[in-house]
């Protein structure tokens, strides 16, 4: 039976979720729904909602459950009509959000013409020391906004346009990174156990080379 797959990418900030999502998009034709991108668009637009989110993000806090659920609900149904594998990046981040996602997929699965929906998860398990190093070197190209990384010398070359000017994300300071990691361990990590018990989760070492991680994720997706 043909099914639609909602693929969850779990892992702490800096584990490489966004990078691996792009591998899946380019190599397997998956669709990528990033709540982080949706949130950043709200902030960039300067909407009242965006201003509220900006204050939370700047302090390293998670976006409230009801707001995250609203963003996902508004976009997931449209994505499900366009592809067989939808990568849901950045959601769920709490046990309550995981329950809300179950309920949402159950409702969406009743839409005429849509095949059954399966939720599968991949956990990019990564050591804190690796995460801190990656996040402290992570920057965005000033020209095209592509995310890249500073070299050991502090220089930057954009992987997309070759630009050398960069800017840091407001949530990539050492203090905010520490707060985000603490929040992740307390609120998001417990969800891994939920999908493990459902036998719907694959664990990959996120500290490996990017291409090795991508290859192992590809093997996991093939088992869906």
Residues in a beta bridge with 119: 6
Give the active site residues.
Answer: 17, 93, 138, 168, 180
Q: Is 158 left (phi over 0), alpha (psi -120 to 50) or beta?
A: beta
Among positive and negative, which fits the CA dihedral 152, 181, 172, 93? positive
13: Cβ contacts below 8 Å, ≥ 6 apart = 131, 135, 177, 180, 181, 184
Asked if 32 contacts 89 with a C-beta cutoff of 8 angstroms, the reply is yes
Alpha helices in the chain (DSSP H): 17-28, 35-45, 48-58, 65-80, 95-108, 128-137, 174-183, 189-197, 210-222
Look up residue 15 and give its two tokens: 């584990």
């Amino acid at each position: 039976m043909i099914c639609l797959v909602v693929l969850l990418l779990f892992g702490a900030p800096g584990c490489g979720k966004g990078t691996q999502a792009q591998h899946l998009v380019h190599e397997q034709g998956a669709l990528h729904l990033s709540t982080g991108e949706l949130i950043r668009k709200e902030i960039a637009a300067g909407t009242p909602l965006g201003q509220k989110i900006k204050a939370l993000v700047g302090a390293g806090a998670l976006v409230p459950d009801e707001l995250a659920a609203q963003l996902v609900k508004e976009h997931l149904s449209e994505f499900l009509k366009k592809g067989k594998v939808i990568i849901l990046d950045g959601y769920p981040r709490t046990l309550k959000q995981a329950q809300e996602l179950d309920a949402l997929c159950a409702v969406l699965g009743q839409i005429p013409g849509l095949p059954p929906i399966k939720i599968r998860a991949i956990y990019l398990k990564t050591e804190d020391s690796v995460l801190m190093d990656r996040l402290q070197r992570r920057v965005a190209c000033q020209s095209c906004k592509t995310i890249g990384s500073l070299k050991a010398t502090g220089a930057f070359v954009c992987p997309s346009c070759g630009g050398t000017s960069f800017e840091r994300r407001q949530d990539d300071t050492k203090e905010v990174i520490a707060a985000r990691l603490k929040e992740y361990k307390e609120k998001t990590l417990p969800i891994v156990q939920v999908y493990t018990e459902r036998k719907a989760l694959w664990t990959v070492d996120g500290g490996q080379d990017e291409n090795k991680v991508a290859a192992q994720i590809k093997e996991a997706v093939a088992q869906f």
